[in-house]
Amino acid sequence: MFNFRKSKSKNNPLLKKPRDDERYAKERELMRSDKVSERMKLAKSEKTHQEILYYMAENDEDENVRKAVAKNLMTPVQASTIIARDECVDVRIALIKRLSNLLPDLTADEYSQLYAHAVQALSMLALDEVLKVRKALVSSLKDKAYCPPKVATALAKDLEREISEPILKYCVAMPDIDLIDILKATKNEWVARAIAMREQINSDVSKAVIARSDDFPTAGEELLKNKGAKIDHETMGYIIEKAKTMPAWQKSLGYRRDLPPDMVQKISKFVSYKLRKKIQKNNKMDQATAMDVEDAAKRRMNFFTDEAGKKISPTQKLQQLIRENRLDEEAVSDALAMNEKEFVIGALAHLANVKPENAAKMVLTKAPKAVVALSWRAKLSMRFAVELQKQLAQIPPKELIYPKSGQAYPLSEDAMLFQLDYFEDA
């Protein structure tokens, strides 16, 4: 790499040199020579005046001469857009290599105008119709922090996988907003997976990956395995809900070392014993929380057994709890954690004293107010009503109804009675 920023060397291409009139006159004659060898000597020399190199880049008929000009580190950056339009592929590729080496020095404030010329040329090359040229550009810039964001985004949107994938996966210069836009628009799973495998991922991008998880579930797996992926609390909660029915995601969660205690508790309710131990080992938990998790796990493991230790069906278990007057929020919560939806709906119907088919309708409509009203009639806590909305009715996070003052039902009694009456008459 050339590093001229701290140097006032006479061979710094970013500094304008004084003209040597006598030598300049000779160079003007040579640049018009019929002999390619004479023009080639001029094109390769770092002593050639920059104005001469600029002229040759635009006007010389021999592509090898123009290629030598493109390689010459003293060729003015202002000539880059001319060279980027050169009809010869090798000339354009030579420009890519030289500009890639110059970019770190062009980022200094005093070179802002030169930087703009370089970015314009590279942006043109990012849209070059020849695949070989775009591949050369990707090879030069994919892992460089100084890659211009505009150029990175253009390459990331390329229709050819061998162009866009390395940028999506490795280029740290890609703006988050562009990654999110690409995730929203893509129809290809490999695009989402490449983004999910980036070395560092901010929470907004992680959220966008998970938002496409119904279309691209393996991208979600890659994200969860990625130690450099930041995932906010809300998104992690959504992931854990989906993981209940996605064993591959459960396994990927085992790689995380940044899970909050409440998330560890939720995961531990439905994963295998081996995976539960791995998750607890990888994430800090106080002793009391760890004991609660173990107690809940043992209770749920034996949930569908009778007093003799024999397996029984969810319906049989529900009837047993009703007979023994032991059907309460803890029992319904255990069944919900195991994704036993029929049991939960049956339990809600019994506790709320409504017909099972009406309880099912209130859940299946995915109406937050209906689920909250059903939970209220069943004398369950409002906090549990939130879990019923999320896990049982699968209501989107933005539509959830939350407790008032941390635990109270936020709807009026009349509003909840209206919901119950509506579904009773439906």
359 within 8 A of 349, measured Cβ to Cβ:
yes
306 within 8 A of 281, measured Cβ to Cβ:
no
pLDDT at 262 over 90: no
| pLDDT at position 5 | 47
| pLDDT at position 275 | 83
| pLDDT at position 260 | 85
The torsion of the CA quartet 402, 408, 412, 415, rounded to 10 degrees, works out to 50
Higher local confidence (pLDDT), 338 or 359: 359
From 125-139, 267-281, 408-422, the region with the lowest mean pLDDT: 267-281
Q: Which residues of 281-313 are buried (b: 16+ CB within 10 A; e: fewer)?
A: eebebeeebbeebeebbeebeebbeeeeeeeee
Higher local confidence (pLDDT), 294 or 130: 130
Q: What is the DSSP letter of 381?
A: -
Confidence band of 1 (pLDDT split at 50, 70, 90): very low
230 within 8 A of 204, measured Cβ to Cβ:
no
Q: Report the share of the chain in percent with pLDDT over 70.
A: 91
219 Cβ contact partners less than 8 Å away, ≥ 6 residues apart: 189, 192, 193, 195, 196, 209, 212, 213
Q: What is the pLDDT of residues 301-322, one digit of tens each?
A: 667 777 776 788 888 889 989 9
| pLDDT at position 108 | 64
230 Cβ contact partners less than 8 Å away, ≥ 6 residues apart: 201, 202, 203, 206
Over residues 182-211, the mean pLDDT reads 97
| pLDDT at position 415 | 95
Higher local confidence (pLDDT), 89 or 309: 89
Report how far residue 340's alpha carbon sits from residue 418's, in angstroms, rounded to the nearest whole number.
28
Confidence band of 296 (pLDDT split at 50, 70, 90): low
Over residues 84-113, the mean pLDDT reads 89
| pLDDT at position 426 | 62
Over residues 164-177, the mean pLDDT reads 96
pLDDT at 10 over 80: no
Q: What is the pLDDT of residues 360-410, one digit of tens each?
A: 999 999 999 999 999 999 999 999 999 999 889 989 888 999 998 878 999
| pLDDT at position 9 | 45
| pLDDT at position 405 | 83
pLDDT at 297 over 70: no
291 within 8 A of 317, measured Cβ to Cβ:
no
85 within 8 A of 124, measured Cβ to Cβ:
yes
Q: At what angle do helices 368-377 and 341-352 cross, to 10 degrees?
A: 60
Radius of gyration over every alpha carbon of the chain, rounded to an integer in angstroms:
33
